[in-house]
Amino acid sequence: MSNYSNSADSWKFLGSSRGHVSSELESPIRKVFREDNFPIIIFDEIEKASPTLWDILLSLTDTGEIEDNFGKLNFKNSIVIFTTNAGVETGSSINLIKETGDYSFSKKAPYKIFPPEFLSRVITVEFRPLTKEERKEIAKSKIDDISKKISIELNEREIEEILNSKEFEEIAKDVRSLERFLELEIAKRYLV
């Protein structure tokens, strides 16, 4: 949602107002509805959006509708998901979880960022960090996918070498980097 981080950009979400040069262009959200009558819409990292966009989305959470440059959009046949990293942004927060196993600080974090009227209209689902074993299971699945793509087969010992490496421990906490790391590890071992 960083592309809607200031108030002016937030209005782009709804398209240009009538009378503006680009007002005939449909809004990004209307395009979603044109492509799918029952969309699942994910607003990722909503804390990065401006308060102006939160106000727009407040209307959505209140009435199930918002109005863009072409009229009302009804979200009643949609699933809307807001994600946030509130509560896990600092290394000290992550270390607190590791040391104490206490996740209570993260339950309070959204209330420091979002207006209470916004939070009172959404269902909050808290996710805990993945365990080492869960990260390894995800990595094994990714290794299997990569191996199939390039038509090689890794044995259990080779997979364990990758999963027990110091580099894996460091990178596995960042799921976005995990697949790239695994691709490079496999390439280093088998395609050189």
Q: Is the pLDDT of residue 97 over 50?
A: no
CATH number for the domain whose boundaries are 2-119: 3.40.50.300
pLDDT at 1 over 80: no
- Find out whether 46 and 1 touch, Cβ atoms under 8 Å: yes
The structure tokens listed for 124 are 């909050």
Helices (H), ranges, 50-131? 51-63, 91-100, 104-113, 116-119
pTM for the whole thing?
0.65
Query: 68 forms bridges with which residues in the sheet?
Result: 71
Phi-psi region of 119 (alpha: psi -120 to 50; beta: other; left: phi over 0): alpha
Taking only the tens place, the pLDDT of each residue in 131-149 is 788 888 988 998 999 888 8
Domain ranges of the chain: 2-119, 132-190
Direct distance between the N- and C-terminal alpha carbons of the chain, in angstroms, rounded to an integer:
40
Percentage of the chain with pLDDT > 70?
77
User: What local confidence, expressed as pLDDT, does residue 92 receive?
Assistant: 39
**73 pLDDT higher than 80:** yes
* Cβ atoms 16, 1 nearer than 8 A: no
